[in-house]
Amino acid sequence: MQTDRIVREPAVHDITGLSRTTRWRLEREGKFPARRKLSDNAVGWLESEIHDWITSRNIPRSQAA
């Protein structure tokens, strides 16, 4: 059984390659997984949701970095 983990901003940037602003805009539009409030000053995302989002993008290989 694989456990999910919460990833913070730098890791999400490394995984997606998207800037914080772009992810915020996509999240606001319902096109990116919602952040989870961890404390008053910290948020994170479920790693599985980030990977599911990437898989759902279905980007052609010629466009992938």
In a domain, 53, yes or no: yes
DSSP state string for 14-25: HHH---HHHHHH
Cα separation values, 14 from 9, 17, 19, 28, 39, Å: 9, 5, 10, 20, 22
DSSP state string for 14-56: HHH---HHHHHHHHHTT-SPPPEEEETTEEEEEHHHHHHHHHH
The range of the structural domain enclosing residue 45 comes to 6-57
In a domain, 47, yes or no: yes
- Amino acid letter, 52: D
**pTM, to two decimals:** 0.81
Give the number of domains in the chain. Answer: 1
Which pLDDT tens digit goes with each residue over 13-41?
999 999 999 999 999 999 999 999 999 99
Q: Does position 3 have pLDDT exceeding 80, yes or no?
A: no
In a domain, 1, yes or no: no
In a domain, 64, yes or no: no
